[in-house]
Amino acid sequence: MALPLSRKELIRKFKALGYSGPFSGGKHQFMIKGSQKIRIPNPHAGDISANLVKEILRQANISSQEWENI
């Protein structure tokens, strides 16, 4: 199960999974792994909600078990 976490921690975990970035793009930054591109939430006060983390993981096709083992 995904938990709320900081933007910095989200980026660290995606880098551990082999993603590059974050890179600047339109309204949001993004990270890339091969042909897969995921949007990273903009910096804001507080942590990224568990629901948003779950949605990002779903879009990136990352299982919660794989995410928790990072």
Q: Which domain CATH number covers 32?
A: 3.30.920
Does 2 map to a domain? no
Domain of residue 25: give its range: 7-68
pLDDT digits (tens, 9 = 90+) for 50-65: 999 999 999 999 998 8
Q: Are 41 and 48 in contact (CB under 8 A)?
A: yes
Does 1 map to a domain? no
User: How far is the C-alpha of 45 from the C-alpha of 25, rounded, in Å?
Assistant: 21
What one-character-per-residue DSSP string does 3-66 give? --B-HHHHHHHHHHTT-EEEE--SSSEEEEETTEEEEEPPP-SSPBPHHHHHHHHHHHT--HHH
pLDDT digits (tens, 9 = 90+) for 6-65: 999 999 999 999 999 999 988 889 999 999 999 999 888 889 999 999 999 999 999 988
The H-or-E segment that residue 70 falls in is: none
Q: Identify the band that residue 1 occupies on the pLDDT scale cut at 50, 70 and 90.
A: low
If one counts the domains in the chain, the total is 1
pTM score, whole prediction: 0.88
